[in-house]
Amino acid sequence: MRDHISSKQFREAEGVEAWRVLGDGACAFFRTASFAAAVRFVEAIGKLPDVDDHRPEIDIRNDGVTVRLITITDDWYWLTKRDLDLARQISVAARASGLEGDPSRLQSMFVIPGATDRATVMPFWRAALAYEPRRDSPDEDLVDPGRRGPAFWFENMDEPRPGGHAPEWWTLADLRLPLPR
């Protein structure tokens, strides 16, 4: 049985006030005074119990740390009680480090190209970006396997919109890239 929780359940839970649920998981940005302080905070996260069994995605910058949590399985991407528990633990570690969350610094980006035939255009984008099909929706979505770049969610269209659809006339040969494996 899955431990799935809704965005609303996560949002309304205690202890995660600095977190926001975005399209790619629960995220928090913790402002730091220096890069060294950011590294110390990440080290504190690394010492949390069971963090190696459910690793957060962490981005360190000179002014803070962004943490993203999401559960990914072969047929499902979303939030679980485990994500909520880890978000709470990370928030406690942030407070112990004298850090505050700043939700205004969060951002999430998705690219949603439209296509009349997704099966025709997705191989081009997959090769061009070195992305892979999202496991729970492989016929619709491509994701960066390193989870660094934006996801591509292909919208099915009945007919092309001028200037608003993926160029279906491009082919893999145009890029001179190998076919995706």
Q: What is the pLDDT of residues 76-121, one digit of tens each?
A: 778 999 999 999 999 999 999 999 999 888 877 778 888 888 888 8
Is residue 75 situated within a structural domain? yes
127 shares its domain with 83: no
Residues constituting the chain: 181
Of 43-47, 73-77, 137-141, 174-178, give the range with the top mean pLDDT: 43-47
> Which pLDDT score, from 0 to 100, does residue 162 have?
66
> Which pLDDT score, from 0 to 100, does residue 137 have?
81
**122 compared with 166, residue with greater pLDDT:** 122
């001179």: which residue's tokens? 176
pLDDT over threshold 50, residue 132: yes
> Which pLDDT score, from 0 to 100, does residue 176 have?
46
Q: Angle, nearest 10°, between helix axes 81-96 and 35-46?
A: 130
The total domain count for the chain is 2
97 shares its domain with 151: no
12 shares its domain with 96: yes
Rounded to two decimals, the pTM is: 0.72
33 shares its domain with 84: yes
> Which pLDDT score, from 0 to 100, does residue 90 have?
97
pLDDT in tens, 16-32: 999 999 877 899 999 99
Domain boundary among 105, 133, 155: 105
Domain range for 152 is 110-175
Residues 6+ apart with CB under 8 A from 66: 27, 28, 29, 30, 58, 59, 105, 106
11 shares its domain with 97: yes
